[in-house]
Amino acid sequence: MTGASSQNVGPIILLGPPGAGKGTQAKRVSEYYRIPQISTGDILREQGQRGTELGIKAKDIMARGEFVPDELMYGMVADRLRQVDCERGFILDGFPRTPAQAGWLDAFLEHEFFDNVPRSKCLPVVIRIDVDYNLLLRRIAGRRSCPVCARIYNVYLQPPRVADTCDHDGSKLIARDDDREEVIRDRLQRYEVQTRPVAQYYERKARLSAVNGEMPVERVTEEIIRLVENSRREAVGS
């Protein structure tokens, strides 16, 4: 798949539950368009390493086991999106997580970030990656890794030749604690409660598209790019 490194892409938001392949797709689309993939975790780490006022405040809050408040998060996201590598576009991973954050992002992009660009061109392309609940469980609960070479297997979908044994070095495969089924069910439930309102926010504005995340990885990437291209063509023609 040939990349498009000079095209103005604009903002892209990928939504999807744990195990849907959102991180993989964000990375592939980022490489295709040569635009940054931006996660809130990366922003928090960067601000902390730079020792900014916002980063220090966020670090203190997280050290107390509390969530970083929206107003503080907005300042850090705004700072990141104003950087030069975001001029042609970017992919947001893990933000927005609430309708309030989605509303802030719309206002920021429209009134601050893309002040001299037609409104239709600055609003995010929002794509949800849909995967059946039972397949999500199999994707995550079936994961096993080699403690020596770090290769990843799936006992349901991509098993090793010998059960619980790495094909490469014969080490016994291990499962992470957070890949246990009861933990996964809780993560998926929390995702559904937290993220459904965000999808509904964009759906009410007729800006939510969906892609079947059960297709092969390459096909999912192609479909996401097709949706992005269609959205931008419509924006140019509006």
CATH numbers and ranges of domains, the chain: 10-35+88-237 (3.40.50.300)
- Identify the band that residue 120 occupies on the pLDDT scale cut at 50, 70 and 90: very low
pLDDT at 198: 94
Residue 187 annotated as catalytic? yes
Q: Are 152 and 145 in contact (CB under 8 A)?
A: yes
Pick 111 or 217 by higher pLDDT. Answer: 217
Residue 22 annotated as catalytic? yes
Residue 143 annotated as catalytic? yes
From 128, 139, 143, 144, the catalytic residue: 143
pLDDT at 115: 46
Residue 43 CA to residue 55 CA, distance in Å, equals 9
Structure pTM? Answer: 0.82
**Number of neighbouring beta carbons within 10 Å of residue 97:** 17
Side chain identity at residue 238, one-letter code: S
